[in-house]
Amino acid sequence: MKLLAGNSNRTLAQAVASHLDLPLTKAQVKRFPDNEVWVTIDENVRGEDVFVLQSTAYPANDHLMELLICIDALKRASARRITAVMPYFGYARQDRKTGGRTPISAKLVANLITRAGADRVLTMDLHSGQIQGFFDIPTDNLQSAPLMAQDIKTNYAKADELLIVSPDVGGVVRALAVASRLNAELAIVDKRRSGPGKSEVANIIGDVTGRRLIIFDDIVDSAGTLCSAAQSLMDAGAAEVSAYITHGVLSGAAAERVKNSVLKELVITDSIEASQEVAGVDKIRTVGCAGLIGEAIRRIANEESVSKLFD
C-alpha cells in the first residue's frame, strides 16, 4: 500500500500517513510557467495499492486537475489499484439541474475521475447521497457524525440536553445522525433559497426558547446563511448557538463574518486546509479527521468493512 498526496492539504495527508505508520510516496506535483500541472512519481508503484489524497477545495479547478493527473500518472506506472481519497468533494453542490440550461457538474467530475483511471473513491459527508450513484466505481462516503458527536460530548457538559438544529429540510437526516448519538432533540430551520449562496429564514420548526443549540451541516462557504440562521435562532429565544460543520470552505469574508456573528463557536474538520484568515479567528475550532480517514484506508487495503466504522 502507498499513500500519495497532492498539494491541497499536505498537513492532513501527513497526519493520515502518521496514523497508518506509512511514509508519503515520493512525488513531485509542480507547475509549468504557464501554470500547467506537472506530476512525476519518484518511486516504483507497479502492482501497488495506491491511495491519492486530495481535497478539491480552493482553488478547486487546480486541485481537481492535480488529482486527475496524479491518477493518470499512477495508471501509466502500472499501479494495481488507485483510490481517490477526497475528504472534500468539490462541485458537490451542483448535484442536480436547478433550472433550464444548467449543468450537473458533480456528475461531470465523477466521470472525469473515473475516466482518469481511478478504481475507487473515498470521501466524507457528500453534500447529497445521490452523488455516490454518479460514479460507476465503488464509492465510500464516510460520516463525520461519530467524530462530531464525540467532540460535543467532550466539550459540552450534559450533551444530551442540547438541541441539534438542521439548517434546512434537506439536512434533517444528517443532523438526526448526530442527535441520535447524543439522545438529543431536533429542530429545523425552514430556509428559502433565492439564488446561489443566498437564502433567508422563513420559519423555525421546534421550540428553541432557552435552549443551547448546535447547528449541524456539511458545508459552510460564505457563512452568510449560517450566521443569519444563528441570528434568527437567537431572536427566537435561544440561550446560545454553536455550529458543527464538516467542510469549512470559508471563502471570501467568511472568517470575518463568523467572528462578528452571534455564534458561540464554529467547529469544522480539517478536510480542507485552513487559510490564515480562518486560523486567526478564535471562534473557529478544528477537529482532526485523519484517524477516521486513515482507518478507512486501512480497511479498504485489507478488504475489510468500512461501514462497520459507523455501527
Whole-number Å distance between alpha carbons of 59 and 273: 12
Q: How many residues does the chain have?
A: 311
19 marked as binding residue: no
221 marked as binding residue: yes
225 marked as binding residue: yes
54 marked as binding residue: no
Positions of E strands within the chain: 2-5, 27-31, 37-41, 49-53, 81-86, 120-124, 139-142, 163-166, 185-195, 198-205, 212-220, 240-248, 266-269, 284-287
Sign (positive/negative) of CA torsion 302, 306, 310, 311? Answer: negative
Check whether the bond before 59 is cis (ω within 30° of 0): yes
> Any catalytic annotation for residue 191?
yes
Q: Is 177 helix (H, G, I), strand (E, B) or coil?
A: helix
247 marked as binding residue: no
34 marked as binding residue: yes
223 marked as binding residue: yes
224 marked as binding residue: yes
63 marked as binding residue: no
Active-site residue identified among 75, 107, 191, 198: 191
Residues annotated in a binding site for Mg(2+): 127, 168
What residues are labeled active site? 191
Residues annotated in a binding site for D-ribose 5-phosphate: 193, 217, 221-225
Residues annotated in a binding site for ATP: 34-36, 93-94
Residues annotated in a binding site: 34-36, 93-94, 127, 168, 193, 217, 221-225
